[in-house]
Amino acid sequence: MRGPGRLLGWCVVVLGLAAGCSSVPGTGRQRVNFMPSGQMNRLGEETFDTLLASKTTLDTGPAAAMVRRVGSRVVESARTLYPDGDLPSHWEIVLIDDETPNAFALPGGRIGVHTGMVDLAGGEDGLGIVLGHEVGHVLAAHSAERMSHGLLIVGGLAIGSTALEDEDEATRARIIGALGAGATIGITLPYSRLHETEADELGLMIAANAGFDPRQAIPLWQRMARQGGQRMEFLSTHPVPQTRIEEFKRLMPKAIALYEQSRTR
């Protein structure tokens, strides 16, 4: 029965890939995503509430007002620039009292921005680029794609385990462990870096279209580079800052054209 069982398992994986294929608005990249958007939005809301339960949020003051103002412009820009994107109808953008320079986005249009990131952004242009990046993650449904990949990897490892059932336990554990590590280095981490690069591109265009100077992306990431040490890119979830800066330079002519058009409106 092992042969038919493996065949059925592979059929499930292949059908999942075929059924979940779609393209990312703005970049056209083909992706695998078979997670229902309603389920992802509920998960995003629950996760966001859990994260905020241990945080102090700031609702008043100049920084909170700037986050809401810039966020509103960025979201509206994303709607007009990528009308085919499945963007949430309601967004919640929250300022969190935390000096760590960080921002994050969850499905359903929930974004958290640390006060440390507001400081590092250096003004509305930099903040627009940061928030554009986070909206880009939501636009591209990166969380759903990562979850889809995770389910396919788990399914593939289960199939591999079944195929090795005649091996002794120690051998099976070594092989499955190696396959899992290979999936992390060969699939999970590269796609994580790809998602960051894609969100950089989408975010830069969204920010420029909203009237924020895209040229501020380069000094922003130069400041970000000074925040962290050196790391090997192929073992990282994010591209190194210099890689991102070079990509911003490549995209800059298109972004500046959008920025100039926004200034005439």
Just list the catalytic residues.
134
* Chain CA centroid to CA 108, Å: 13
Give the residue from 230, 199, 50 showing the smallest Cα distance to 129.
199
Give Cα separations from 52 to 56, 59, 92, 99 (angstroms): 7, 13, 12, 15
Main-chain dihedrals φ then ψ at residue 32, nearest 5 degrees: -110, 120
Q: What is the DSSP letter of 235?
A: G
Q: What is the DSSP letter of 224?
A: H
Sole residue written with tokens 């629950």: 46
H-run or E-run covering 194: helix 189-209
How far is it, in rounded angstroms, from Cα 104 to Cα 108?
Answer: 13
- Is residue 105 within 8 A of residue 130, CB to CB? The reply is no
Q: How crowded is the C-beta side of 12, counted as CA atoms within 13 Å?
A: 15
